[in-house]
Amino acid sequence: MTPAGFARYAWAAPSTALGLLLAAAFYAGGAHARVVQGALEVGGGRMGRLAGRLPPAVRFSALTLGHVILGLDRASLDACRRHEHVHVRQYERYGPFFLPLYAASSAWQWLRGRHPYLDNHFERQAFRETP
């Protein structure tokens, strides 16, 4: 790994650590795991089924924390891969500031009467960069 590659992983490491904790819970519940394009993808099992039954306001198909992508199942991970890898690059750029920036963008959109997910700056970027 190049020094720049190492730096990207190190900068995103705090969020990746949180992702690894959740990935361990998914894996312990029967999820599958694999590394794709430098990110750990974990999906399926009991946690994937549970996540699929969350209230609509917080339900997700896939979720990225640093270099960890959690998904409901393999099909969700496959369908969301390009979008979620935009978020991986955002974590590499903003490091430990990404989660607070993401939350602030959602809060700002909500305060403006807009959709906190669809109008979030980081989601709009991910949707722009993926078909």
- Residue 103 within any structural domain of the chain: no
Q: What's the pTM? A: 0.93
Cα–Cα distances in angstroms (integers) from residue 102 to residues 1, 99, 105, in the given order = 28, 5, 5
User: Does the structure show a pLDDT above 80 at 131?
Assistant: no
Q: What is the pLDDT of residues 95-104, one digit of tens each?
A: 999 999 999 9
- Residue 32 within any structural domain of the chain: yes
> Domain count of the chain?
1
What's the pLDDT score for residue 47? 82
What's the pLDDT score for residue 58? 82
Provide the residue range defining the domain that includes 79.
3-95
Helix locations, 29-44, DSSP H: none
Phi-psi region of 45 (alpha: psi -120 to 50; beta: other; left: phi over 0): left
Q: What is the pLDDT of residues 59-93, one digit of tens each?
A: 889 999 999 999 999 999 999 999 999 999 999 99
- Residue 125 within any structural domain of the chain: no
Are 70 and 23 spatial neighbours (Cβ–Cβ below 8 Å)? Answer: yes
